[in-house]
Chain A
Amino acid sequence: MTTAQLDKMRLELRRGVLVLAVLSSLKAPHYGYSLRKQLQDAGIDIDEGTLYPLVRRLADQGLLDSEWRQGEGRERRYYQLSEVGSSLLAQLTQEWQQLNKALGPLLEH
């Protein structure tokens, strides 16, 4: 398998998981950079060019609420899970746990 193929498959594998990670991190309000930092600290490295547009798309879908706030002499847009987002996150978390449970034994073979 070439590096390009591996990169493509890693990207596909991560795509859905990143949504789950972002929604989960936004139970508390975050702005772009602080969200990235939180994900990084948790061991999920995501580049800015992917994260910022992803957050906006989730907000456009009504899964996140957002507001501009002033802080440290600069304005920042804060995002937080909306009601719809919270409900979706609960369902996705359940789905993820089921998948993870089923996948574990398969990967051990």
Chain B
Amino acid sequence: MDLLERYLAAVQQELPKEKQQDVIRELKANILDQLDAQQAQAPAQSDEEHLLQVLRELGPPKQIAYQFHPPQPLIRAELMPLFRFTLFMVLGIIFLINLVQSTLLWLGHDQMGLLLLLKHMAGGFIRDAVFAFTAITLGFWAIGQEQKTHCAAQKKWNPLQLPQLNQSWQRIEMGDIFTDLASYLFLLMLIWYPVWGEAAMSVELSMSSRFLLQAFSPLLLLGIAVSLWQLKQRYWTAALLKCNLLLNVLLVSAILMLAWVSPFFIGVPEQLPWMTAEQLERSITISLLIIALFPGWEIIRDWRRLPRL
């Protein structure tokens, strides 16, 4: 019977404390009944053989404990798509922020090699990603717990509130919303980096570029608000389209203004490992012009869509 006690102890180990005593007491009684029946059917076999057969039929301790107490997932199934998008968005932002942090550090230290740059970037990313993953998971767990108590309200939804969409493009993909949201959040964090980031930086934004960027913050907040509006109402209406159009016009103007600012950075060494300071400034201008093409394209798209709504 030592084997039976070992089995019961292994099952007990997998159960929550409040269920252990009761489940094990009952499981033991059931196994003993099963053994009696086995012995009556095949008296020639030894007790050990009977017990082995019964335990094999019951299954491994973990499996039987799982059947008695099925684990509850941390994230509810219906929240999983939103959880995944949020996680990817935040991890993306963290990666970009770390890329910028490390690049600024690299620009200011002409002795810093590529390996050191990668090490700095990877270290920072892993540290921030672990924190973000924990925070997001706990956040979604709390939302799931909250929703459990409001199940009745969800049953009262009115099918007549479903939107009547005449154009296939009116549906907004979740991926598009999160891409926009990630971009606005990233830019906002980047602009205010000198306030929340590591203070000791040898390379900094110039006075005029910093002033312009900080003046654009309300625009980015408007962008975040529009994205959240899209998350709540996942289809284009005339009002939402107009709002997006206005936002993109303002964004293009802001990016173009920024592209003409010179110098963009101060404190950059004349000769960097891979380019000169002048080449760096020129590449920033070109990058900004390319970035302006994205909201520019959305302006043309929304302008053409608006009359069809």
- Chain A: residues with CB nearer than 8 A to chain B? 31-34, 37, 47-50, 52-54, 56, 74-77
Contacts and interface: CB of A to CB of B under 8 A. Distances in A.
Contacts of A34: 33
Contacts of A37: 37
B67 interface: yes
Contact of A49 (B25, B32, B59): B59
B33 A33 contact: yes
B57 A48 contact: yes
Majority secondary structure of chain B interface residues (helix, strand, loop or mixed): helix
Contact of A74 (B23, B29, B34, B67): B29
B306 interface: no
B57 A49 contact: yes
Interface of B: 23, 25-27, 29-30, 32-34, 37, 54, 57-59, 63-64, 67-68
Contact of B67 (A32, A50, A75, A77): A50
B71 to A, nearest CB: 13
A33 B68 CA distance: 16
16 contacts: A32-B29, A37-B37, A47-B58, A48-B34, A48-B54, A49-B63, A49-B64, A52-B26, A52-B27, A52-B67, A53-B67, A56-B26, A74-B32, A74-B33, A75-B25, A76-B29
Nearest to B19: A56
Contacts, number: 50
A32 B64 contact: no
B23 A33 contact: no
A33 B26 contact: no
Given A49-B64, A53-B67, A31 B27 contact: no
Contacts of A53: 64, 67-68
Contacts of B64: 49, 53
Nearest to B32: A74
Contacts of B23: 56
A8 to B, nearest CB: 16
A56 B59 CA distance: 17
Nearest to B66: A53
Contact of A32 (B26, B57, B59, B68): B26
Nearest to B35: A33
A99 to B, nearest CB: 23
